[in-house]
Amino acid sequence: MKLAVELTGEGAVFVAADAGCDLADVGDLTKPDPAALGHLVYSIPGAKNILEMPPMTAQVTRFKCGGFALGLAMNHCMFDGLGAMEFVNSWAETARGAVELTVPPFLDRTLLRARDPPVISFEHHEFEEIPDVSDTAALYADQDLLYRSFCFDPDRLERVRALALAGAGAENGDDLVGGRCTTFEALSGLVWRARTRALGLAPEQRTKLLFAVDGRRRFEPPLPRGYFGNGIVLTNAATRARPSLASTLLITTWSRLAFHGADFGWGAPAMSGPVTLPEKEVILFLAHGEERKSINVLLGLPASAMDAFQELMDEI
């Protein structure tokens, strides 16, 4: 199905709400919590699929303490995380009275239009469906889904990198003390492996790890600055759930998305982040701390698996 937006001039859905509590009463804002934070984002009543949902809704909630929250529901078919960030920051610049935007939107979507007729140059394993021989569907159906965040400060991230290099060296029979491994690679390997163990996947279970990669600078030619759309591509790694490996999931990172800098005239926000994760198979990396050098790992798991995952994280 090819989706298109009909421009009717009706504008976006905007909701103003008042909360009978202080912002501090909302609780822990560092992790997804659909039950509590879901009240801060407007959902279209009765909407069952993407065709019944507007491209974007915005809700401003005022708290008794004087603070407020801006809750956005944005359709990923419209734009990716970078596009969403640039939109929010441009909106904030406009609210502060800016005459020109720092990053004007580039709206020509034809740059990524499919060839006519379409040409498939190689296999796309990232879209391949994998049989659930471990019956994890039953685990998710029988238990509550719990969301938690796990903070990795710079020292802990360095330990994760050291473990990744030591593990790779042991498997290859090499000394990789001087080897190279990015923080994202090391942390992705850690959570992929831990999630597989926590879910108790069968040894013969095929698994797949997906990465959302920003392709803007990687395309030939690169996409123009401010491209407003989806410039991401999915890359993947596939294996079986041997004890040294782990589970199937999509890892995406917001660590370089500057939502925390969106100043609508009252200063930078106290916090920014997701209300929930889009799917149970998604893990999100968020920058954390004043200097943005720590990473919060956000994920959801069935209750028993989350307890097991917590124990594995406590060992790091």
User: What is the tens place of the pLDDT at every residue in 102-157?
Assistant: 999 999 988 888 888 888 888 877 777 888 888 888 999 999 999 888 999 999 99
Beta bridge partners of 296: 151, 286
Residue 227 and residue 106 in contact, taking contact as beta carbons nearer than 8 Å: yes
| Percent of the chain whose predicted confidence (pLDDT) is above 90 | 35
Q: How confident is the model at residue 287 (pLDDT cuts 50, 70, 90)?
A: confident
Beta bridge partners of 86: none
Residue 298 and residue 149 in contact, taking contact as beta carbons nearer than 8 Å: yes
Q: Is 33 a catalytic residue?
A: no
Q: Say yes or no to pLDDT of 227 above 90.
A: yes
AA letter at 229:
G
pLDDT at 176: 46
Q: How confident is the model at residue 96 (pLDDT cuts 50, 70, 90)?
A: very high
Q: How confident is the model at residue 243 (pLDDT cuts 50, 70, 90)?
A: very low
Residue 280 and residue 145 in contact, taking contact as beta carbons nearer than 8 Å: yes
Q: pTM for the whole thing?
A: 0.81
Return the residue matching tokens 């989706």: 3
Contacts of 313 (CB under 8 A, 6+ apart): 150, 194
Q: Which of 33, 132, 214, 263 is catalytic?
A: 263
CATH class name, domain 144-316: alpha beta
Rounded Cα distance, 32 and 174, in Å: 40
| Residue predicted with more confidence, 61 or 181 | 61
Contacts of 258 (CB under 8 A, 6+ apart): 85, 89
The DSSP string of 8-59 is -S---EEEEEE-SS-GGGG--TTS--HHHHGGGS---TT--SGGGS-SEEEE
Q: How confident is the model at residue 309 (pLDDT cuts 50, 70, 90)?
A: very high
Q: Is 125 a catalytic residue?
A: no
Q: Which of 76, 108, 124, 135 is catalytic?
A: 76
pLDDT tens column, 181-211: 888 889 999 998 899 999 999 888 888 888 8
The DSSP string of 175-224 is --TT----HHHHHHHHHHHHHHHHHT--TT-EEEEEEEEE-TTTSSSPPP
Rounded Cα distance, 160 and 93, in Å: 38
